Amino acid sequence: MASKFTCKCGYTVCTNAFEGHGIYALVTDHEFDLLKEPITTEEITKLLWVKSRRMVECKGCGILYLSSMDSNNYIPYKKVGSKPST
């Protein structure tokens, strides 16, 4: 996936976890349920970095983008609330 893209509002959205803000890792309840106690750091890391789906929030207009399951792109999902304050 590209490390940034331009939102429809013109704001540059960074998707690199070390550069961007408003990046979320979405993990299903099922994936969490598969973890066995005691849970190791390696298992959590794999869950969050490999098995999760990414979501980013545009800080310019508040729209949420989900990582596409079929391509290396982000697709617009939903605008939340009013424009976030910076």
Sign of CA dihedral 48, 54, 60, 63: negative
Encode burial over 73-83: b for 16+ CB neighbours within 10 A, e otherwise.
ebeeeeeeeee
Q: Report the alpha-carbon distance of residue 68 to residue 86 in Å, rounded.
A: 27
What is the reported pLDDT for 2? 60
* Strand ranges of the sheet holding 53-57, from the earlier edge strand across to the other edge: 23-26, 53-57, 63-67, 74-79
What is the reported pLDDT for 81? 62
Read off the pTM: 0.72
- Residue in this structure with the two tokens 């310019």, named with its chain if needed: 60
Local confidence pLDDT in tens for the 86 residues of the chain? 468 899 999 999 988 877 767 888 888 899 888 888 898 999 998 888 888 888 999 989 989 999 887 777 888 887 666 555 55
